[in-house]
Structure 1
């Protein structure tokens, strides 16, 4: 199964009723005034697409950004949105996530849906931009939710908490950071107030932007080369992290495209780690 699909692939299958499109555009952190991605969705979206509001679908019972909801709550939210967990072979749908511009948050939605038990989730290469460039139709206004059932079962092996992260660092396992090289080195500030920049002891830097070109994920061979250049062995277990767990999913997607089998995402990411007064932070 190809994790990445193009506009032609989606257009060919859209009329079959086996594909559900999901706009998963998250406003970029630190950009003011804040981009209203829901309003942009209402103005223009792919046919039948629902809006995956990542902020609203994050755990409200923690101060940390973008944390996963408990499975039962996530399942109810997907039911309300009309998103099924079953794939076409089980009478459900192929979920195709996309974003309005570039590559930033769609992989996080791909990861969230997958880790909660969705059977068939793909990412649309180029998103809305590529769809329009292909001359394909768009719609406006909210799409009413269809009847759907999402049986959420968390894949705990794909998610890491702080204790698991610390143990991995102590064992010298691969922890790969998706933030910019400057934030990793501690020479650029974090976008979230009160957090110093720098990195975890032993972590490797692979800025997620190096896996992207022209608003698309690079070919798997090129992504594999990027990981190799940064010292990441895709045959060994890898844990991904970033600022708040969003672009860590870009790395997770890239690793899976390269054939990596043991990938976990540290959900709290730098927002959690750097907020702990006892957490060692390396500069340089």
Structure 2
């Protein structure tokens, strides 16, 4: 079976690829629909009404470190193992994750699996909107779940905390690339979470995640992704720390970096929800210093 050039079961697969593999016994599909607090949408309710056949619902907020006051921080290994086993997702499975916005929250789950050392996971390019637009099969019943053993090996180099980010930004050891929209980055638009300062991490570059997508919501091809990073002032020969509002869309940047073969990246899990909360951390305001595409 030939696969389209863009299909890579470790990063991104097309709806055609998923349709061909839908009945594979070792395929597991996850619906990771999640929305910003001001979006007025409920990912779980949408899943219960309509999802790709066989999909399990991955609750980003529940599948998090509940000991933290920050939103949906990466879960401890034990919690990830427990939840995945209960969902029937384990060793030897090829996982495909999608969301109801097209390309928004699913990459966060891709990153979470990568953090746990699980490589056989891909994001569905275009997500549920593209699947529905093509008239493909859906259902409203949850699948029958059977416990499956899963092992993890946490990859700590893929995540950064506030101390590491502050250090790297101050010393110029890595480029912080912010996936938020230009107005939020510049401090000209309010944050969706109350109580946060406006602006960005000093020295950060701005690459709104939408600039990595085509008009139909699918991800740009590899030359297009490289061009977007370079237009934002990112030196692809140097390390990158991705950031955003709360660590969700930062994963879209991480996925794109992985797609273009840039392996020296990590994700700032707390992102602006953490940095913008602490008064003793410096904040920069004003538009990005590089012309956007």
Q: Shorter-chain TM-score: what band?
A: over 0.9
1:278 aligned to 2:280?
Answer: yes
Instruction: Give the stretch that moved more between structures: 138-147 or 68-77.
Output: 138-147
> C-alpha separation between the residues in 2 aligned to 1:211 and 1:27?
19
1:11 to 14, 19, 29: 19
Deviation of 1:223 after TM superposition, in Å, equals 1.1
Residue 163 (structure 1) aligns with: 163
Q: Once the two structures are superposed, what CA deviation does each residue of 1:139-187 show, in whole Å capped at 9, x if it has no partner? A: 1122232221221221101010111101101221201011111111111
Unaligned runs of 5+ in 2: 1-6, 287-293
Kept in 1, the 8 Å contact 2:36–2:192? The answer is: no
TM-score between the two structures when normalised by the length of structure 1:
0.94
What is the match of residue 54 of structure 1? 60
Q: Distance in 1 between matches of 2:119 and 2:269?
A: 21
Q: What residue is the counterpart of 1:136 in the other structure?
A: 136
CA displacement at 1:220 relative to structure 2: 1.5
Q: Secondary structure at the match of 1:265?
A: strand
Cα distance, 1:134 vs structure 2: 2.8
Cα distance in 1 for residues equivalent to 2:105 and 2:162: 22
Q: 2:86 aligns with which of 74, 77, 80?
A: 80
Task: Report runs of 4+ in structure 1 exceeding 6 Å deviation.
Answer: none
- Superposition pairs for residues 1-284 of structure 1, below 5 Å? 2=8, 3-31=11-39, 34-84=40-90, 86=91, 92-172=92-172, 173-213=174-214, 214-284=216-286
Deviations 1:20-74 (A, max 9, x none): 111010022322xx31211111111111110001011111111101101111111
- Counting matched residue pairs gives 276
Q: Work out the CA distance in 2 between the residues paired with 1:128 and 1:185.
A: 32
Instruction: Measure how far apart 1:252 and its partner are.
Output: 0.4
Cα distance, 1:256 vs structure 2: 1.0
Please report how far the alpha carbon of residue 269 of structure 1 lies from its aligned counterpart in structure 2 after TM superposition: 0.5
Deviation at 1:132, TM superposition (A): 2.5
TM-score normalised to structure 2 length: 0.91
* CA distance in structure 1 between the aligned counterparts of 2:199 and 2:224, rounded to whole angstroms: 27
Looking at structure 1, the residues matched to 62 and 72 of structure 2 have their Cα atoms a distance apart, in angstroms, of 9
Conservation of the 8 A alpha-carbon contact between 1:115 and 1:154: yes
Distance in 1, Cα, partners of 2:233 & 2:37: 28
- CA RMSD after TM alignment: 1.3
